[in-house]
Structure 1
Amino acid sequence: MMKTFYIAATVLILFSTVRAQPGSVNYDESKVPVYTLPALLETADGLQVTNTVQWEQQRRPEILELFARQVYGRTPKDPIAVRYEVLTENPHALGGKATSKQIKFVFHNGKKEIEAILLLFLPNNVQGKFPLFVAYNFKGNHSTTLDTTILYTKNFALVKEPNHPDWERGCQASRWAYDDVIARGYGIATMCYHDIFPDKPDLKDHSVVSLFPGYGKGEDAADEWQAIGAWAWGSSRILDYLTTEPSVDMDRIAIMGHSRQGKAALWAGAQDMRFKIVISNDSGAGGAALSRRKYGETIAIVSNIKPAWFCRALDRYHGREEDMPVDQHQLLALMAPRPVYVASAEEDRWADPKGEYLAAYHASPAYALYNLKGLPSATPPPIHQPIMNDVGYHIRAGKHDVTRYDWLAFLDFADKHFRK
């Protein structure tokens, strides 16, 4: 236990040190290098993409392949069996406004099992089918609410020692605007991301990755998937379960991810078209922010802090972002024609708010192919003035977090596109 705690503490110290040393992180806009983004609407053989057929049949698959090969790794196609067990159902949740359900997922390959628990809140006052948000939580389902009936999961005990404050119920409830979501007529599904891939060194054996054929047989290939790929895969498995809930409208599912889970949400949305709105909140490098700006968190910094997130192929571009065959505007463009929303925070310079905005702006030409509206200008909007086109964006006051302001903006964006 002491050895494991020491490793975790070392990672935390490194994370704090990287943030604290201004010489190692660029927060000076004048030091952003001149860069040229890889072409969005030009195929590998130099053809200009001028219509949606070319985009969908040629350019989009090219870009998706580049991100799989060079950034996130390839998601295996092997089927992993899963069984569901409804653990609790409470029709009087949130003061009677919602029905809560806790469903245990048991992923298995005939030799090994990995368990996860999905927490659902479904609105009681909606007639017919309703839209729903999917979003991972960081500190366990118990952290999102004060409800004492919410269960702890097996993997949480692996990543947090018994007296850690993250065991406290409701310790991140401020990030979960359940009442607002339910009041708008939406459901919400959340799961602790540690259940899918524990975000702590040396725990890969406890992740879903360990269930797939070939796991543990030698060193990872350069394009082998890692944590972000696994979290994206897990989001799609939540969708699989939701098809069994008759009141959920599968044509109106939004995925929202914050920080590292913003990275994973974008990769999930790129691969799984069943996510009809994709939302990134403060996702930074490897998420919504342009890598070539080399501002705040860079792929080298984040990969050194968390080497298990990205595939090994990305290592060759540390400090050489200009040589990457992709950048994050192309990832955002993979959502087209589905609405995509990027959210930033004014004080979160680590995540490069301007770089997040510019990526969304430069993704807009893919939306124009569908006669949809992207971002109007290369100049970001002022704080608290959201843009709610088919490509949306806001920057709010404050730091790296998910706030009620963010959720209300996400709901407004979803209302605009889901309630046409």
Structure 2
Amino acid sequence: MTRFLLLAILILLSGPIANGQGPEGYNYDEAKVGTYTLPDLLVNTKGKPVKTKADWRNWRAELLKLFAENVYGQTPAKSVKLRFQTTSVDESALNGLAVRKQVSIFFVDYPQLPPIDVLIYFPKASTKPVPVFLGLNFCGNHCVTAEADIPLSTRWMMGENSDVSNNNKATEKARGMQVRRWPIDMIVKRGYALATAYYGDIEPDYPQGWHTGIRSVLGDTTKANNWGAIGAWAWGMSRILDYLQTDPAIDAKRVISIGHSRIGKAAVWAGAQDERFAAVIANESGEGGAALARRYYGETVERLNTSFPHWFAPRYKAYNKRVADLPVDQHELLALVAPRPLYVASADGDQWSDPKGEFLGALHTEPVYQLYGKTGLGTTVFPAVNQPVGQTVRYHDRTGKHDVTDYDWEQYLRFADELVR
């Protein structure tokens, strides 16, 4: 387990190498990408063209099955009884700026499973239901805010021995460690709520983590299309949405799925499957997210499946050395969000996630948005750094490393103001 985690950290921190080679010889040279042929987004598996919205709805259902069978695994169709328990309400959080609520989501039929603990901030000044950004965090709710009264998570955490995690348990030094990724003040001042939960509440992020997560009771580990952790985290986002639909302070028709890195992959898969999400934001989601799998640049399908064998369906590994045989590619995943608004974002210091591949993934959704009379990106030109482009589909390539910054959030808030509110 430790070997996988250390490898993951090295990958995420790595940047471009001057000679065009990434970690252990992986390609960072655009001249070495080579040629590839993408599956035609508007031609189904029977070779029939997709010409109308009705055609797309039928083809969309088939694409979802193809992604479930070959990439993310089959999300169990079984409904799960939930119980929502509000554990805390602070009517004057963040110096009176917000109302803060903590809610636990229990699985009624599976009392052995821990709940999903959701942390929500609402604009205190709002007099009507508000739209909400819903995203999972990497280190517990205590890490997204410096507030001392947020309970320290007792769940499994990355890192066996460090300042912020001891024997895979959070320490007090973890409190507020990722405040920079969650500018709560900025979000609520703009009239939005923020809902977040620790992704480890749904499934701990290591190969055996499924033993204590939702996949221990749902799914079938013997099947090649058994869902992976990405699928479980996406499923968990929909269960949080189930709660948000019951909260009178939330406008349930304007819930935005957002995620960074591996959770960016989950946020897109959640938004593709669950059309209740009003919009989707994928921040540096890379391989298995917004980046085209067939592009030989940065992280590859093989490296992804080797470093993180628990994230995807077992069948996905069959394509490690034959990516061209995949029946789908990521532009088709992103197109499943249509006609809803979509934002894909990259960082120029995060070449491992393949910024151009992410841009192209967003670009190639255009034909589906056109079926709905909408313009997607509306450009084929890869933009300059810090120059957002697009219309119903947006994209930017920010300066900096693999992270979520205030710059990113400024773009997402503007995107939501224009397309979701």
Distance in 2, matches of 1:369 and 1:112, equals: 47
Distance in 2, matches of 1:121 and 1:101, equals: 6
Match of 1:3 in 2: none
CA deviations over 1:39-93 (Å, ceiling 9, x no partner):
100122112111111101x211111111000000000011222212211100111
Structure 2 letter corresponding to 1:165:
V
Once the two structures are overlaid, the 10-residue window that deviates more, 194-203 or 392-401, is 194-203
Match of 2:298 in 1: 296
Report matched runs for 1:58-207 at 5 Å: 58-110=58-110, 112-156=112-156, 159-161=158-160, 164-166=163-165, 167=171, 168-207=174-213
TM-superposed deviation, 1:123: 0.7
Distance in 1, matches of 2:382 and 2:408, equals: 17
TM-score, normalized by length of structure 2?
Answer: 0.93
Match of 2:27 in 1: 26
The alignment of Structure 1 onto Structure 2 pairs a total of residues equal to 406
Distance in 2, matches of 1:316 and 1:171, equals: 38
C-alpha contact (below 8 Å) 1:155/1:206 kept by paired residues: no
Cα distance change, pair 251–403 in 1 and its aligned pair in 2 (3 A):
same
Report matched runs for 1:11-410 at 5 Å: 11-15=4-8, 22-56=23-57, 58-110=58-110, 112-156=112-156, 159-161=158-160, 164-166=163-165, 167=171, 168-212=174-218, 219-410=221-412
C-alpha contact (below 8 Å) 2:142/2:153 kept by paired residues: no
TM-superposed deviation, 1:202: 2.0
Task: Give the secondary-structure state (helix, strand or coil) at the position aligned to 1:135.
Answer: strand
C-alpha contact (below 8 Å) 2:350/2:400 kept by paired residues: yes
TM-score, normalized by length of structure 1?
Answer: 0.93
Cα distance change, pair 164–107 in 1 and its aligned pair in 2 (3 A):
farther
Structure 2 letter corresponding to 1:169:
R
TM-superposed deviation, 1:201: 3.2
C-alpha contact (below 8 Å) 1:115/1:154 kept by paired residues: no
Distance in 1, matches of 2:196 and 2:272, equals: 20
TM-superposed deviation, 1:22: 3.8
Match of 1:418 in 2: 420
TM-superposed deviation, 1:172: 0.6
Structure 2 letter corresponding to 1:267:
W
CA deviations over 1:225-280 (Å, ceiling 9, x no partner):
01001000000000000112102111111011000000000000000001011000
Structure 1 letter corresponding to 2:48:
L
Q: Specify every segment of 5 or more residues in structure 1 that has no aligned partner in the other structure, as ranges.
A: 1-6
Distance in 2, matches of 1:152 and 1:364, equals: 44
Structure 2 letter corresponding to 1:113:
L
Identical pairs, percent: 45
C-alpha contact (below 8 Å) 1:101/1:121 kept by paired residues: yes
Cα distance change, pair 107–30 in 1 and its aligned pair in 2 (3 A):
same
Root mean square deviation of aligned Cα: 1.6
Q: Specify every segment of 5 or more residues in structure 2 that has no aligned partner in the other structure, as ranges.
A: 16-21, 166-170
Distance in 2, matches of 1:407 and 1:17, equals: 26
Distance in 2, matches of 1:164 and 1:325, equals: 44
Distance in 2, matches of 1:124 and 1:14, equals: 43
